[in-house]
Structure 1
Amino acid sequence: MSALTLYGIPNCDTVKRARAWLAAEGAAVAFHDFKKLGVPPALDDWAAELGWQRLLNRQGTTWRKLDVAAQAGAGDAAGALALMRAQPSVIRRPVVAWPDGRYSIGFDPDEFARRLGR
């Protein structure tokens, strides 16, 4: 099985839990840090598979700090994707690219175990 890629920011609690769980399971994981490496071109693929609405984290601190105009500008796919590229912290985390080519958002140990065949 090839490595999976986990996308996020290292200080996010959910990303920390996912990384710790994957390490404990011995999974081969590549970590893509949005803060250091930016948002990958795969953002468009994530939006196509998962939906831009699910990717956009409207509960986070970064979203709440945005002015009303910036929030309103994220009301459609183009605006939301532009905001995610400019402010990676508004992307719900972690995003996982699984070896089978599929994607998921968030951390659910049962879902991770199922996808890893455990």
Structure 2
Amino acid sequence: MIKMYGIKNCDAVKKAQKFLTAQGVNFEFIDFRQNPIDEQTLQSFIKVLGWEKVINKRSTTYRNFSDTEKQNISLALTLKNPTLIKRPILVVEGDIEAGFSEESYRRFI
């Protein structure tokens, strides 16, 4: 089963959903705001992708943090502020992709 994590009003999430739907791919969408991810799920993202690819440095949440907070991103801070997570996160049989590009999604499906 393909899982997509994100926020329903995010433009990148909308593009990814539209692409997968057009390709006839079934997926489960998990909205961070309605169903917060747990620590284990976030750790799996970080283990595969690393912090640099998981954290969305273009998000308003990140930009509003102090320099000290930006240098000390932690699991607890990210779980408390899920909009820090780059969107969408696509999980396919243990493989994980952050962000959306048609090219990378084609490799997954």
TM-score by length of 2: 0.91
Shift of 1:36: 0.3
Structure 1, 10-19 or 104-113: larger mean CA deviation: 104-113
Number of equivalent positions: 108
1:95 equivalent in alignment to 2:89: yes
CA distance in 1, matches of 2:72, 2:104: 33
1:53-72 matches, cutoff 5 A: 53-72=52-71
Shift of 1:42: 1.1
TM-score by length of 1: 0.84
Tell me the residue number matched to 1:51.
Answer: 50
Tell me the SS of whatever aligns to 1:42.
helix
Aligned sequence identity (%)? 31
The residue type paired with residue 101 of structure 1 is: G
CA distance in 2, matches of 1:72, 1:45: 21
Structure 1 gaps of 5+ residues are none
Q: Structure 1 residue runs of 4+, over 6 Å off?
A: none
Tell me the residue number matched to 1:112.
Answer: 105
The residue type paired with residue 103 of structure 1 is: I
Structure 2 gaps of 5+ residues are none
Shift of 1:96: 0.7
Tell me the residue number matched to 1:33.
Answer: 31
The residue type paired with residue 85 of structure 1 is: L
* Structure with bigger gyration radius: 1
The residue type paired with residue 104 of structure 2 is: E
